[in-house]
Amino acid sequence: MNQYLNDPDYLFSILTALVKKNGGKITLSKEEMDDVSKGDLIGMYYEPKTGNLILKEVEPKDMLQATTFIRDKKETDKVYDN
């Protein structure tokens, strides 16, 4: 999913879908924009059963657990020749 978050066209598509879903307009106040920090994390998840894309605020501790889980899963998925 990381490659999608680095793709400006994909991110613009997400923003466009969010605006359309909200009736064609989203207003963000200066205070709301000021409230965003580099420490804020958003997770992007794909739900295969429904095809839905889920954007969710993630706590840093939860993000660390997810990263560890993914790294550990990749290590256990390795196949070695005997």
Using the predicted structure, report yes or no on whether residue 64 has a pLDDT greater than 80: no
Structure tokens at 45: 């998840």
What does the alpha-carbon distance between residue 71 and residue 64 come to, in Å, rounded to a whole number? 11
pLDDT of 76 above 90: no
pLDDT digits (tens, 9 = 90+) for 36-62: 998 888 888 889 999 999 999 988 777
The torsion defined by the Cα of 16, 18, 21 and 22, in degrees rounded to 10, comes to -110
Please, which residues bridge with residue 53 across strands?
A: 46
For residue 47, being part of any structural domain is answered with: yes
Question: Has residue 82 been placed in a domain?
Answer: no
Q: What is the mean pLDDT of residues 18-42?
A: 94
Stated as kind and residue range, the H or E segment containing 22 is: none
Domain-located, residue 12? yes
Residue 16 lies in a domain: yes
Give the total number of structural domains in the chain: 1
The mean pLDDT value of the chain amounts to 80
Which pair of tokens denotes residue 63? 């993000």
Distances (CA, A) of 80 to 40, 61, 68, 77: 39, 33, 22, 10
Q: Which residue has the higher pLDDT, 28 or 81?
A: 28
Domain of 72 in residue numbering reads as: 2-76
- Kindly tell me if the per-residue pLDDT of 73 is higher than 60: no
